[in-house]
Amino acid sequence: MNCPGPEGLPLYDLSARTGTTLSAMFTLETRIRVRYSETDQMGVVYYGHYAQYFEVGRTEAIRELGLTYREMEESGILMPVTSMEVHYYKPARYDDLLILKTKIRQLPRTMITFQTDIHLENGTHLTSGSVTLAFVNKESGKPCRPPDQLLGLLNPHFL
Amino acid sequence: MNCPGPEGLPLYDLSARTGTTLSAMFTLETRIRVRYSETDQMGVVYYGHYAQYFEVGRTEAIRELGLTYREMEESGILMPVTSMEVHYYKPARYDDLLILKTKIRQLPRTMITFQTDIHLENGTHLTSGSVTLAFVNKESGKPCRPPDQLLGLLNPHFL
Amino acid sequence: MNCPGPEGLPLYDLSARTGTTLSAMFTLETRIRVRYSETDQMGVVYYGHYAQYFEVGRTEAIRELGLTYREMEESGILMPVTSMEVHYYKPARYDDLLILKTKIRQLPRTMITFQTDIHLENGTHLTSGSVTLAFVNKESGKPCRPPDQLLGLLNPHFL
Amino acid sequence: MNCPGPEGLPLYDLSARTGTTLSAMFTLETRIRVRYSETDQMGVVYYGHYAQYFEVGRTEAIRELGLTYREMEESGILMPVTSMEVHYYKPARYDDLLILKTKIRQLPRTMITFQTDIHLENGTHLTSGSVTLAFVNKESGKPCRPPDQLLGLLNPHFL
């Protein structure tokens, strides 16, 4: 069961609240229109550009939680990517309207993992990607704990 | 033991020929200078751009074998990426000269996997990535066998 | 005087209809959120990426007219860019919400020129760009007239 | 008359030294192999990516002069682009080896302009671009004079 946010697009997955801890998570839906620049001569989206789509999904997920990645960075915390895994099932094409479902399945400790699935409007599953990022203190360059504000905003989704 | 190719850059890993079948493989070394456009505001190469570096490594590996990806595509065979896995150990920075070692560890059947490790000149290991591609008939859009020419050129490296 | 379209975003410049032929034109407003991937290590949007923003402006302008660039291309007409001129007044930054005003000032003959101005929400003028594209027959690779459908849709804005 | 540099690639245009002040300039030749990621579904290099090629041409021109853009930036001087003009005559294609001739035609005062022409090996002229950059103090964000070191290295080419 989902609770539509403003404009019907951003969704909280409420199953988290009624289900067990295992199924607790935070989910956000975002839409991205494929740009011409993102295609290659095979006539489909270049495989490297999905990283940008995942990034947009993450950015909007954090914004939906109630802060912005920009603010986090300005407050002195960087989030470099430490690993990425992508599976390409079907190609996305120019002008396709992509539906991204970005999920945080676990409360972050030293790392945070975002799982993103990309579908077409007709439901076709195109891509799934998993991106893990560290929290790093901008000054020291050292790994650090996730900001309390982020944890505070995520916590209610994992009760 | 390595056998330097023209200009000392491309290398065949000859250990394949003296060692066991298990260690047989094809390796090519390529160099890429990081462009300003490839950095992001964290001051390092954006995580999504490594896919382009891996692609350059693949292109040059195939060229070193004796054909070009361009020719393969013109002959009617496309190679869409089906999965990618990347581990980011240390960041690459603007103007760094990256050394890519691209390996084919197994003779392809329906898929081919390229393993790429990126180091700095001083030996620092920055990134490792693994990209798997299918062979697809351009006309039919269906998966197909690898081209005989490619298999013929790869075979001697896996004896 | 402007007539807001759906969601208040797309605008027809009606001054065209009340003014002289000289001021006739077609204008569309689009919004783009700056992605992290679009920044560089100077902390601002890389100068080359504005070409992608202009492309999004063109795509949405054509869609607002009533056809899509995708359909035009599928119908056998390509629109390669023949020239571009960009002036960068102030930098765009990560997560900025850019407001693009894309204008067609003249009915196309063999070429079409899109003029795009980019502002922040507070009115700051960041960039202006002018991109000229040719109409080319996909089969022959030769220049051709603009499609009648496009001319028919543009005509009312230039009376 | 040209004087080949190391590996025959970088060239100083010596006509500058034998000609009049008007023809004085600095020229550097660089080669870039078109990446698959740089093509779009028209089967040619996306028009926005030439900005990256021009950037590589600039970077290598400054390196050939005897300093690096990286050092300039580390010494506290940024060079944001203020304008760009590009003419696209013929398309570049995947795997093409592009020859960039990057010219500085005038000693910089508050701005510096790089003119880049891109040819194929067979001499076909594909693109010409002109990019103007300002010198900006990283601390203050204010325009500044070009670094003395750069002027000192450019001067001999404009006698």
Check B40, B95, B96, B148 and give the catalytic one: B40
Residue D50 belongs to what H/E stretch? Answer: helix D50-65
pLDDT one-digit tens code per residue, A23-65 = 578 999 999 999 999 999 999 999 999 999 999 999 999 999 9
* Chain B residues with CB-CB distance to D51 below 8 A: 37
pLDDT at residue D23 in the model: 53
Length of chain A measured in residues: 159
pLDDT one-digit tens code per residue, B125-152 = 999 999 999 999 999 999 999 999 999 9
pLDDT at residue B9 in the model: 36
SS3 B115: strand
Check D13, D40, D96, D148 and give the catalytic one: D40
Q: For residue B18, is pLDDT > 50?
A: no
Residue C132 lies in a domain: no
Distance from the C86 Cα atom to the nearest Cα atom in chain D, whole angstroms? 5
Summary mean pLDDT of chain D: 87
* Inter-chain CB proximity D35 and B52 less than 8 Å: yes
pLDDT at residue B159 in the model: 77
Report the pLDDT averaged over residues B56-74.
95
pLDDT one-digit tens code per residue, D4-44 = 333 333 333 333 333 334 457 899 999 999 999 999 999 99
CA atoms lying within 13 Å on the CB side of residue A135: 18
* Inter-chain CB proximity D37 and A37 less than 8 Å: no
* Chain D residues with CB-CB distance to C131 below 8 A: 47
Q: Please tell me the least confidently modeled range out of B20-24, C4-8, C48-52, C134-138.
A: C4-8
Distance from the D15 Cα atom to the nearest Cα atom in chain C, whole angstroms? 30
Distance CA B108, CA B156 (A): 13
Distance from the B53 Cα atom to the nearest Cα atom in chain D, whole angstroms? 9
Residue-range definition of the domain harbouring residue C72: 2-125+145-158
Model pTM?
Answer: 0.87
Distance CA D67, CA D76 (A): 14
CA distances for C41 relative to A53, B37, C13, C118, D12, angstroms:
20, 9, 38, 22, 30
Nearest CA to D41 among C122, B44, A92? A92
pLDDT one-digit tens code per residue, D110-127 = 899 999 999 999 999 999
pLDDT one-digit tens code per residue, C21-71 = 445 789 999 999 999 999 999 999 999 999 999 999 999 999 999 999 999
Nearest CA to D40 among C81, A42, C137? A42
* Inter-chain CB proximity D86 and C84 less than 8 Å: yes
Subunits with 3+ Cβ pairs within 8 Å of A are B, C, D
* Chain C residues with CB-CB distance to D49 below 8 A: 48
User: How many structural domains comprise chain D?
Assistant: 1
Distance from the C40 Cα atom to the nearest Cα atom in chain A, whole angstroms? 14
pLDDT at residue C23 in the model: 53
Q: Please tell me the least confidently modeled range out of A7-16, A101-110, C53-62.
A: A7-16
What band does A159 get if pLDDT is binned at 50, 70 and 90?
confident
* Inter-chain CB proximity D83 and C82 less than 8 Å: no
pLDDT at residue A10 in the model: 36
* Chain D residues with CB-CB distance to C84 below 8 A: 47, 84-86, 88
pLDDT at residue C54 in the model: 98
**What is the β-pairing status of strands A136-137 and C11-13?**
unpaired
Collect all residues from C whose CB is shorter than 8 A from any CB in B. Answer: 36-37, 39-44, 46, 48, 94
Q: For residue D98, is pLDDT > 70?
A: yes
Q: What is the largest CA-CA distance in chain B?
A: 47
State residue B116 phi and psi, 5-degree precision.
Answer: -125, 130
Q: For residue A2, is pLDDT > 50?
A: no
Residue for token pair 């459908």: C149
Collect all residues from C whose CB is shorter than 8 A from any CB in D. Answer: 42, 44, 46-52, 55, 78, 80-88, 91, 131
Q: Which of D41, D42, D50, D94 is the best mutation test for A, with the most CBs of A within 10 A?
A: D41
CA distances for B149 relative to B63, B67, B68, angstroms:
12, 8, 11
Strands (E), D51-152: 77-78, 81-88, 97-104, 111-119, 125-134, 136-137
Distance CA D3, CA D19 (A): 15
CB-based contact C131:C80 (threshold 8 Å)? no
Ordered DSSP codes for B22-81: GG--EEEEEEEEPPGGGB-TTSSB-GGGHHHHHHHHHHHHHHHHT--HHHHHHTTEE--E
pLDDT at residue C9 in the model: 36
Residue for token pair 């063109």: C58
CB-based contact C66:D30 (threshold 8 Å)? no
* Inter-chain CB proximity A36 and C51 less than 8 Å: no
Report the pLDDT averaged over residues D102-115.
95
Nearest neighbour of A82 by CB, restricted to B83, B85, B88: B88
What band does A152 get if pLDDT is binned at 50, 70 and 90?
very high
CB-based contact C105:C97 (threshold 8 Å)? no
Q: For chain D, what is the radius of gyration of the CA atoms? A: 16
First to last CA, chain B: 17
Question: What percent of chain C stands above pLDDT 90?
Answer: 82
Q: Which residue has the higher pLDDT, D48 or C18?
A: D48
What ipTM is given for this predicted complex?
0.85
To the query of whether residue C117 is one of the catalytic residues in this protein, the response is no
What band does B23 get if pLDDT is binned at 50, 70 and 90?
low
Check C13, C40, C95, C96 and give the catalytic one: C40
pLDDT at residue A126 in the model: 98
CB-based contact C76:C138 (threshold 8 Å)? yes
Q: For residue A102, is pLDDT > 90?
A: yes
Nearest neighbour of A52 by CB, restricted to C37, C51, C73: C37
Residue C39's CATH number: 3.10.129.10
Report the pLDDT averaged over residues B34-38.
98
Nearest neighbour of A43 by CB, restricted to D41, D46, D48: D41
The first and second tokens of residue C14, run together, are 């009606």
Summary mean pLDDT of chain B: 87
CB-based contact C155:C144 (threshold 8 Å)? no
Report the pLDDT averaged over residues A58-85.
96
* Chain A residues with CB-CB distance to C33 below 8 A: 56, 59
* Inter-chain CB proximity B36 and D51 less than 8 Å: no
Report the pLDDT averaged over residues B77-91.
97
Q: For residue B7, is pLDDT > 70?
A: no
Summary mean pLDDT of chain A: 87
Q: Which of C36, C38, C40 is the best mutation test for B, with the most CBs of B within 10 A?
A: C40
CB-based contact C135:C146 (threshold 8 Å)? yes
